[in-house]
Structure 1
Amino acid sequence: MSSNPSRRHPASPTRQGLPSTSATASLRQLLDSLSKEQRSNQELLVSLGFALRSFTNLNRFLELVPVVAARLVGVEGALLVPFHADGRLWNEQLQILTTARSEPVLQALNKHEPGRSSGFGSDDALVLGMDRLVQRQLGSAGVFATSLVARGRQRGRLYVFNPSGSLIWTDVHRRHVQLVADLAGVAIENDLMLQEARLHERVDRQLSIGAEIQAQLLPDHCPVIEGVELAARCRPAFQVGGDYYDFIPTRPELIGRRRERGRWALVMGDVMGKGVPAGLLMTMLRGMLRAEVLSGLPPDRILHDLNQLALEDLSQSHRFVTLFYSDFDPRTRRLRFANAAHNPPLIWRSQQRSVSRLDAPGLLIGLQPEAEYGVGSTVLEPGDVLLYYTDGVTEAPGITGDRFDEDRLIRSLESACRSGTGSQGILDQLFRRLDRFVGPDRQLEDDASMVVLKVREEVMLPSVPRTSA
């Protein structure tokens, strides 16, 4: 063995601590590949966001979701299972990236009995059962599942899977898939809100039409009746209301001055409830009553017959009607009246300068067959004021929570009558007093209607002294 020590060769300065040329090229290729993948993923997400803004067809957008999700993760399979608004499986909108196992998965979901029940999507145990069903249908494929959530509600599930084996999964993949699921949830929520807005638009149009029809059924102006002034107003709580007032000539064939001097029916009623159902019943009741008035019967008989006619329709709707019916003869100034449990009108006596109530016994219209009604009568004197109203006036809540009530209405009527104004002025004062009590910009809870009848003051001519012959 040689005793000479082995000779060391000095290291080349170009190789020490630096990668080889081939390693540098490989690193650059890897960075370029990652950069291209990142740009591709960004373009996919941007495209999906653009589709969300642009598509008005939800089905077209949902078709893209599994395609984008699969490409972001680099797998062959993806499945989107959206839910209806009530949580049921939305089978018509199942979207799957086509693979050899697509058809069995879709068939299994379409036959999944729990998915047909309302609230399925909000039950975590049932959703987990669907996850297991999907996994069974996909066999050994690696599966990742996440929820579509919008406004705190689960709107579906998104699955990505690799039919050929397990998933190569990273946190970036998870975030990408969740972002796609969130966009899909927003798309479904937007579509639901759009459908709801369209439904509200249709309902609003129908309500507007109903309100126009009802406004045409209520008198658009008060008739001319000899010796009295009339003023009326209905303020519905909704577009369509259940309050009803009417002025009906008992002999409609008369015209001109003969009609003004003829007998008139003055009616105030209220269908229990508000909105469209009450408005429809009010319309029905109006037609029946107008036909009854032509019979010329006294008020108690008219209410009796009206109750018999309307009983079946009202009982089926589980609603009742209060109605005050009166007829007025201008020649004698006599008012006859009957009451079906309505708020008794208030009468201001000009001579006594006090307010009292007009009432007669009687049951609600539609409560029971063969109901009997009492009848009353009174003579109105010059200056007397009669106020018909519905309970939406006296039951109106104020800012403090108190009701307007009858006592407050009586005091308001006394004040308005003492002012010496006409029927329209009295009506305006009463509504102003009601509005102040309820408070500015506050909606009435119930329909509020008032009719004011004032007997004109007799003109007293000054006496002329006699001259002696």
Structure 2
Amino acid sequence: MAIKILSVDDEADMEMLITQRFRRQIRDKNFEFIFASNGSEALEKLEENKDVRLVLSDINMPEMDGLTFLSKLNDQNNPYLKAVMVSAFNDMDNIRTAMNRGAFDFVTKPINFDDLEITINKTIRHVEMLVNSQKEHDQLVAIQNDINIAQEIQQAMLPKTFPPFPHRTDFDLHAFLKAAKLVGGDLFDYFLMDENRLFFLIGDVSDKGIPASLFMAITKAIFKSHFSNKNCEAIADEVYQINSFLSADNQSMMFVTAFVAILDLTTGVVEYVDAGHEPPLIIRRNNEVEVLKKKGGLALCIDGEFPYVSSTFVLEPGDTLFTYTDGVPDANNHTGERFGIERVKKILIEETVSAAPRHINETVLKEIQAFIGDNAQFDDITALTLHYAG
């Protein structure tokens, strides 16, 4: 698209000289010139042509001189419209006044058209830089708005009412997700399948940011759909079906580690399927912390035909289960030191078995953030803590 240039000059031959000099640029539709003989006419032309980007204006003109016109031009507050003033070589006082009033540049009469072309091209490059900068800014604002919306959607998908089942005294749980970016790839969920069975899940998508958050949302929704169905099959069979579905069209090559479990609230037996996730910790009622010797399986979305199997362990009344993503032990400080699982175990021991799941999680997160300090959080940090009272 041609750059529109308004030439304002009362000399009758100026239009002919400019048209002749820039005939190639006009022919190639690089430049489009509009002409006016004074400031008043120029303002009318600008009103008719809102997309003018450059004004070449003489200073000494009848009706409305160039300096008055320049002041009127400034009143429009258009950052993408630049003025180059034209005056006699010895008229430096007016040229200086024009520059002080916001003119971008100036050329002197008699006009050296080589110099004028350089000045025009320089001014146009500046205007294009401003336009492109604004476009990039607008794009960033739009992206930021989209990310904010994505964050709101993701957070809305996660359970956030605690305690989640205030009428139940046989168990309590709490979970949180602290994303490394505005949105993350970690996930958790929990719900009562019936009066005696609690489903809970924690997972970690292999990527971060918006792609991971989309995959996280899909994964969480599919688990919810399968396990909230009263006719759902055995836990290993359901995980097998979910893995097959997620693997079917996984062009992004993401994968998800997950710990999927069902707690029998009458017996304390936890049946679980491990899909390559971090081993949970159990705070036993004697205040010892035990690392679950889980029977691990492959992360979801790597092999759509992987034969998942379930295993069990028992929570005794008074025991607390701490599940987490790798962002907990892998958090590091400015020296590169990892937070590590031993620090987590130490916190759990110090909190004692009487601590509520919410307090445990808040303490763990607080200690991690203190450990990280000013270092940037590079991975999502998520934990789900379950206390079984029996």
Dislocated runs of 4+, deviation >4 Å = 65-68, 169-177
Shift of residue 332, structure 1, vs aligned partner? 1.2
Structure 2 match to 1:63: 4
Aligned to 2:377: 444
CA distance in 1, matches of 2:112, 2:280: 76
Are the counterparts in 1 of residues 268 and 317 from structure 2 also a CA contact under 8 Å? no
Aligned to 2:85: none
Tell me the SS of whatever aligns to 1:391. Answer: coil
Q: Distance in 1 between matches of 2:182 and 2:14?
A: 53
Matches within 5 A, 1:156-235: 177-222=117-162, 223-224=164-165, 225-235=168-178
In structure 2, do the counterparts of structure 1 residues 188 and 304 end up closer, same or farther at CA, with 3 Å as the change threshold?
A: same
* Aligned residue number for residue 304 of structure 2: 369
- Could you tell me how far 1:250 is from its partner in structure 2? 1.7
Structure (1/2) with the larger strand percentage: 2
Q: 1:66 to 1:402 in 2, by over 3 A?
A: farther
Question: Deviation at 1:358?
Answer: 4.7
Residues 231 and 424, structure 1, Cα contact 8 Å, conserved in 2: yes
Q: How many residues align?
A: 305
Asked which structure has the greater CA Rg, the reply is 1
1:246 alignment counterpart:
189
Q: Secondary structure of 1:371's partner? A: coil
Q: CA deviation at 1:173?
A: 6.2
Question: What SS does the aligned partner of 1:317 have?
Answer: coil
Matches within 5 A, 1:348-367: 348-351=283-286, 353-367=288-302
Change (3 A) 1:277 1:174: same
Alignment CA distance shift 1:404-1:356 (3 Å): same
Does residue 454 of the first structure (1) align with residue 351 of the second (2)? no
Contact 2:245/2:304, CA 8 A, preserved across alignment: no
Q: Which residue of 2 aligns with 1:124?
A: none
Partner of 1:289: 223
Aligned to 1:164: none
**Structure 1 residue aligned with 2:259:** 324
The alpha carbon displacement at 1:176 in A equals 5.2
Residue number among 234, 240, 255 corresponding to 1:298 in the alignment: 234
**Structure with bigger RCO (C-alpha 8 Å, 6+ apart):** 2
**Contact 1:67–1:97 at 8 Å: present in 2 too?**
no
For 2:362, what is the secondary structure of its paired residue?
Answer: helix
Letter of the 2:381 counterpart? A
Q: Distance in 2 between matches of 1:210 and 1:392?
A: 21
Give the direction of change, closer, same or farther, for the CA distance of 1:296–1:171 in structure 2 (3 Å limit): same
**5+ long unaligned stretches in structure 1:** 1-58, 82-90, 99-168, 252-258, 459-469
Aligned with residue 279 of structure 2, among 327, 333, 344 = 344
Q: Offset at 1:430?
A: 0.2
- Matched residue of 1:309: which SS? helix
Identity of aligned residues (%): 24
Per the TM alignment, residue 296 of structure 1 is displaced from its structure 2 partner at its CA by: 4.0
Verify the 8 A CA contact 1:66 1:79 in the aligned structure 2: no
> Relative to structure 1, is the Cα distance of residues 179 and 413 closer, same or farther in structure 2, using a 3 angstrom cutoff?
farther
Instruction: State how far apart, in whole Å, the 1-side matches of 2:322 and 2:24 are.
Output: 66
RMSD across aligned positions (CA) = 3.1
Q: Which has the higher helix share?
A: 1
> What is the distance in 2 between the residues matched to 1:401 and 1:65?
60
Q: Distance in 2 between matches of 1:321 and 1:221?
A: 25
Amino acid at match of 2:338: R
